[in-house]
Structure 1
Amino acid sequence: MDPEYSLQDVVRCHLCESPSPLLHCDICNKPLCKECERKHLTDGSTEHRVVPFRLRRCITKCQKHSSQMCDQYCKQCKIPVCAYCVENTCRGHTFIDVVQKLERQKNILQKDLEELEKKIHPRYLKIASIIHAQKASLNKNSKELTDTIEKHKADILMKIDHVIEEFKSDIENLNSQFLSVLNRHDDEIKHNLSEITQYTEELNYLLISNDVSLASAFRSRNAEFKRFPPAPTVVLPSFTPQNIIDKKQIYQQLIGSLSLTSSKTEGFPGADPQFSTSEEPWISTNIDIRPKNEELCTVSCLTNERLWTCNLTDRMIRLYNLQGNLVKEIEPKSGDGPWNIAVSKSGDLVFTDYTEGTVNIVPDTETETVISLRGWRPHGVCTTLFGDLLVAITSDDNEHTKVVRYSNFTEKQSIQFDDKGDPLFSSGLYNIKFISENRNLDICVSDNTAKSVLVVNLAGKLRFTYSGYPTTKKSFSPVDITTDNQSRILIADSKNHCIHILNKDGQFLSCIDNCHLEYPCGLCVYTNDTLFVTEMYSGQLKKIKL
């Protein structure tokens, strides 16, 4: 039996039989102790190759020359080679002793094994346990949410029933009140008709009578009957049912909101940084669209490839493609330029003319004035999710500021004061306001005069204000504002050369300051969460992938 594989005894030197030899002759396939190595090598009847016992069997026959043993490793061919290969096939290549190569590879294997056993495998087990726990929590949370929503549904239906019953009760009360009034008038009319009938009979009798005493005693009552009782006017109550339209956001505003966050792999606790990634915003396109030293103010996306820009220097509105080529330009009627631009739901350009006090649309090439203000001047404008226009306007005396909602160019809502009757928005001579609607129907207003951003809900109630992040070097200088598909709020901070990102509840998330921005001013997010930024003075339009 081969002593190497024998279970009856330890491995012994094949010459002196001392146990646990440290060497091995790969050619003879014999274990050797250190003392017997020289004696073994003196046997010149065959070739010998002595290696450490732990590296035995590393000398193999050559794949190309079966009679030769491989004692070298070719780095270029990445295979063990024999002496003949070294001199011929692999001439000029770099070689390393096959034993050294094996030792290096075993070290690599040992490190991989240790990393697998001590780090990678335990962390996979931990991740698996986390996933298992999250699955259990998910099922439990799903049931709790469903039960809560069902209870809320029952409460809403009960309140709706209560409102309906109140309507019915109001109808009955009104009916009773109106009926009482009508009955009273009816009784008075009947009494007067009876008196008139009796008086008419007396007149007829006197006409056919020749009794001078009765005729001289006659007193006319026509003046009395000419005082006609007022004809009652009953304004009948009416019911106008709310138009049932498939607007999910409106019903969610009534019912409540469900916080839905998509599954996102961000790495698990305890994982090394290389196992998780975090993407930073990066500039994918840098477009030079005009000469420098001109004030490029706002931007609005017509498509993902075409954008309207507003130039405050030459007072022109221009449409560019992403190659920086001019597609179209519009000159406002007043010649003093637009203050802000937007794109309507139908794709028409919308702009405010501060000097004229108008809001205008450009369906094709001709400008149409759709809103004319008296005593007020417009600046910020945006299009809402349902196609309305939100316009920030300031009084001619610069004392008052408000936000007005227009539906079909007719005023439907005015937002100016808080619950205490105090003004929501600042006023003043240099009053700059930009406006945007979030996906949750909040109205977000950038107030440069107040150095803050103010957010109100659909009803115009204040939700929160944001006055900048403490780490910025200069005071918060908000200009244009926009929102993305995740209801995040993005604010251009011109003096700090960055863009603040908030969540829908006003919590600071991050700051885009790694894109070499210079005085960012105009912001617009297209549907795929691509952000377009205009720089005030550099003549650059930058496309940033969020």
Structure 2
Amino acid sequence: MRCDVCKTAVVQMHCDTCLVNLCTACVGKHMISDESKNHQVVKFQSRKSTPLYPGCKLHPNERCEMYCKHCDIPICSACVASEKHVSHKISLLREMYSSKRKEIQQDIGKIKANISPTYDGIVADVQMKMDRLETKCKEISESIRKLGDDWHRKIDKVVNQLQTELAEIKNAHVKIIKNHREEIIRDISNIDSYLNSSEEILQSNDMSLLFQYKSKVSTLQKSSPHIDISLPSFSPKEIQQDQILKLFGTLSLTKDDHVYNSNMAKQIAETTPCPPAKQLLDKPETMTTINTGFTFLQNIVCLNNAEIWASGDYSVIQLFSINQKSYHESLIRSFHVKIECFFSGPLHIAVTRNGDLVYCHPQGKKVNIDKKEVPHTIELHNWKPQGVCSTSSDDLLVIMDYDRKTGDFLATMRDSNQFQTKVVRFSDFIEKQTIQLDEEGKPLYPCTSYYDRIKYITENRNLDICVADGEVVVVVNQAGKLRFRYSGHNPSPKWNQKFTPRGIISDILSHILIADEMNKCVHIIDRDGQFLRYIDCGMVKPRGLCIDVEDNLFVADYKKKSGEIMKLKYLK
């Protein structure tokens, strides 16, 4: 290596301040080249041993050697002498430097000791599950083929039918496993990238990078990377000529007895400290408000930590910046939805896991997915969408009413079909599940009024499906079985109006939050429907609700001046 100054002599020294390689003869020339800096010249073998103090943002010629704990920033001696940090708690930057390095080292140790080995094992486990599925399916396929040969031509149709069913089961499970494997590989890539960047920070003497470091260990620990699949099994039966279809055999699914993932989950729980549990604040705090300019603000959904979608005035959807208060500064994108009838209900919106906007309007009788590549539409024909949400599995849940015919009012009232309401699950734009009746065959979502009621829908973290239909909240499990109904809670005269549930959302604790329009508050109930408390922060007519990844609550106020969205902190 050659000297960076003379370009000819062999490198012997190094300036840790300027990161310049020097020969012995050029040390003096470099020292006087910029006398404003405190040059730390060391032997080349000891390079990068001197901490590089960050430059002060307020005083360009000064280096920060202190740290203001109150402001959470490095500061220089000139900053200390100024009035800006009077009475603030100040410590030496070197002390904070050592503390931060220790934190990074601990995080790297946790990832290498617990998280990385766990993911390596899961990849092997996923591959083994795929091999077991392949082997089992081959065995069953051979059994079906041999039995089919024995039964001759009369049962060929039955054999083909079961082979097709088995292939569908296999393909479905292979798709699930492959998708899971790709997700795990992406997680491993993220972990490796995080480890590399963390180790680069440790090896660097740039303290600015060090203090920009934010630990992601808790985020990596939150994932639940295991997957359980059910293996198909075949049960042959004795044959009778008149009962070929029934007695040939059936395909069923049995749980894989492999318990690798359960042990992995237990290992993570034992070796990795859990993040502290969050609790409800006694008095929620209003963090900021967003001016949307809407006369009738209806629905909101967070796109990310910095942006939020809002719908209002019956046909407008706009994207706002959360950190800007004024309308002109916060508005990012705006577009109108073409509808046939202006006063036909609110415009419902949701966001998929990929960030695609989903919107629907009762008059349109369809659900629109604004995909970045190719937009898609789900036609609902005789049903009017009254609410939509995206699930943890990236399915869409739509609450919809049967399209009541106009004209003969009495005929409409006599036709019970005119008042049907149901929840439909769409996966890859295909209808996969319908939830409409309880175990006794009665409607889960009774609608006795000729006029549509405004409805909202969400999925809880425990996969329950929660619907607010304007009078009651109906909660069913993932299979569509009724768990409970919540019809309000009025412990004091302050909240003594009729319960009017509008927006509904769930949080990290599986609490269900419900906007009560008439009582001007938000109800919080637990996953089993037990009332916990109210949130009352000066709302007028709360409608839409959403929660960001930092567990902040956003409330869309239907009648608030200028269509305000309130950002609230209600968890500690």
Shorter chain as denominator, the TM-score bin is 0.5 to 0.7
The whole-number CA distance in structure 1 between the counterparts of 2:502 and 2:139 is 52
Distance 1:417 1:170, change over 3 A: farther
From 409, 412, 420, the equivalent of 1:400 is 420
Q: Does residue 316 of structure 1 match 2:324?
A: no
Number of the residue aligned with 1:297 = 298
Change (3 A) 1:403 1:249: farther
The CA deviation at 1:305 is 2.2
Task: Name the one with the larger helix percent.
Answer: 2
Structure-1 residue corresponding to 2:369: 361
Partner of 2:207: none
Deviations 1:38-74 (A, max 9, x none): xxxxxxxxxxxxxxxxxxxxxxxxxxxxxxxxxxxxx
Report the counterpart of residue 537 of structure 1 in structure 2: 559
Larger radius of gyration: 1
Q: Is the 8 A contact 2:366 2:381 kept in 1?
A: no
* 3-state SS of paired residue (1:476): coil
Query: How far apart in 2 are the matches of 1:307 and 1:477?
Result: 25
**For the Cα contact (< 8 Å) 1:434–1:480, is it kept in 2?**
yes
Q: Determine whether 1:480 maps to 2:490.
A: no
Aligned residues of 1:358 and 1:369 also touching (Cα < 8 A): no
Cα distance per residue 1:449-498 (max 9 Å; x no partner)? xx111111111111111111132311210001011122111100000001
Q: Tell me, what secondary structure is at the counterpart of 1:281?
A: strand
Partner Cα distance (1:326, 1:278) in 2: 31
Does the alignment pair 1:390 with 2:411? Answer: no
Find the aligned partners of 2:298 and 2:336 in 1 and give their Cα distance.
15
The equivalent of 1:283 in structure 2 is 286
Contact between 2:541 and 2:559, CA under 8 Å: does it hold in 1? yes
What is the TM-score normalised by the length of structure 1? 0.52
Pick aligned residue for 1:503 from 514, 522, 526: 526
Query: Measured at CA, do residues 354 and 527 of structure 1 come closer, stay the same or move farther in structure 2, by a change above 3 Å?
Result: same
Once the 2 structures are TM-superposed, how far is the Cα of residue 370 of structure 1 from its aligned partner?
Answer: 1.4
Question: Post-superposition shift, 1:354?
Answer: 1.5
Summarize the Cα distance change of 1:486–1:234 in structure 2 as closer, same or farther, 3 Å threshold. Answer: closer
Distance 1:488 1:175, change over 3 A: same
CA deviation vs aligned residue, 1:275-331 (integer Å, no higher than 9, x gap): xx954211011233216xx21111111122221111135x21111223233211111
Out of 131, 139, 159, the residue aligned to residue 235 of structure 1 is 159
TM-score when scaled to structure 2?
Answer: 0.50
Q: Deviations over 1:247-276 (max 9, x none)?
A: 75875999999999965699xxxxxxxxxx
The alpha-carbon distance between structure 1 residues 386 and 181, as it changes in their structure 2 partners (threshold 3 A), is: closer
- 2:359 aligned residue: 351
Counterparts in 2 of 1:180 and 1:334: CA distance versus 1, 3 Å: same
Q: Tell me what 2:203 maps to.
A: none
Name the CA shift for 1:250/1:430 in 2 (closer, same or farther; >3 Å).
farther
> 1:420: Cα distance to partner?
1.3
Residue 109 of structure 1 is matched in structure 2 by none
Long gaps (5+) in structure 1: 1-160, 186-229, 267-276
Percent same amino acid among aligned pairs? 36
How far did 1:502 drift?
1.3
Unaligned runs of 5+ in 2: 1-131, 181-223, 231-254, 405-417
Distance 1:423 1:234, change over 3 A: closer
Q: RMSD between aligned alpha carbons?
A: 3.7
State how far apart, in whole Å, the 1-side matches of 2:434 and 2:541 are: 32
CA contact (8 A) 1:249 1:440 kept: no
Which residues in structure 2 correspond to 1:103-182 (within 5 Å)?
Answer: 178=148, 181-182=151-152
Q: Is 1:326 aligned to residue 346 of structure 2? A: no
In 1: Cα distance, 2:355 partner to 2:141 partner? 47
Pick one of 449, 454, 459 that aligns with 2:479. 459
Q: Say whether residues 1:520 and 2:542 are aligned partners.
A: yes
Q: 2:514 is matched by which residue type in structure 1?
A: I
CA distance in 1, matches of 2:463, 2:226: 8
Contact map agreement 2:340 2:364 (CA 8 A) in 1: no
In the alignment, the residues of structure 2 paired with residue 360 and residue 375 of structure 1 have an alpha-carbon distance, to the nearest angstrom, of 16
